[in-house]
Amino acid sequence: MKAEGEFALVKQNLENALGTAGQPVNFGTMAHDHEIYMTLADTAVELRDADALRKYAPSLEKLAVRDHHKLYLGIAHRALGVAHRLTGKHTEAEARLNQALELFNGLGTRWQIGRTLFELGELNLDQSQKKTKAREYFSQALDTFEEIQAVPNAERIRAALNSLE
């Protein structure tokens, strides 16, 4: 899926902001490159935009490693996992998604945990012999989203579970 409409404009503005000086700022703060790459990579995950994932996720990973930023590293791992899944590299996708899940569990970031469990469910769903495992991941993700009352995410998971029946 390619960026269209409002996302294309947001994407263009974020890309233009890359590399611009973050300081001084008159009001508030300005996003730094790692925040911009995180937004671009995470949005590419949602849109299943393989080209954008290949472009932004490695840069996010590099900056997250450099800055020892576990949250952004987890987001980079998830984005790279989805990129691998979209190209049929299931082993690599599973490794990246599990790395993301481990980081998010360590941080206690339940929304990120739920999103990553969903991606693990999608990965297993792609492998027709693993529908039972996909259902397990989707169910875990649903439990996580219901705990934190992330209604849109929970509805998305329910739809995925219903499609398995």
CATH of the domain at 12: 1.25.40
Q: Which domain holds residue 19?
A: 1-108
Residues 103, 134, single domain; the answer is no
List, for residues 37-60, the tens digit of each pLDDT value. Answer: 999 999 999 989 999 999 999 999
Angstrom CA distances, 72 to 63, 69, 77, 100, stand at 9, 6, 9, 10
Structural domain count, the chain: 2
Q: Which two tokens stand for residue 158?
A: 């329910």
Can you say how many angstroms the Cα of residue 123 is from the centroid of all Cα atoms in its chain? 13
List, for residues 94-122, the tens digit of each pLDDT value. Answer: 999 999 999 999 999 999 999 999 999 99
Residues 123, 72, single domain; the answer is no
Residues 25, 96, single domain; the answer is yes
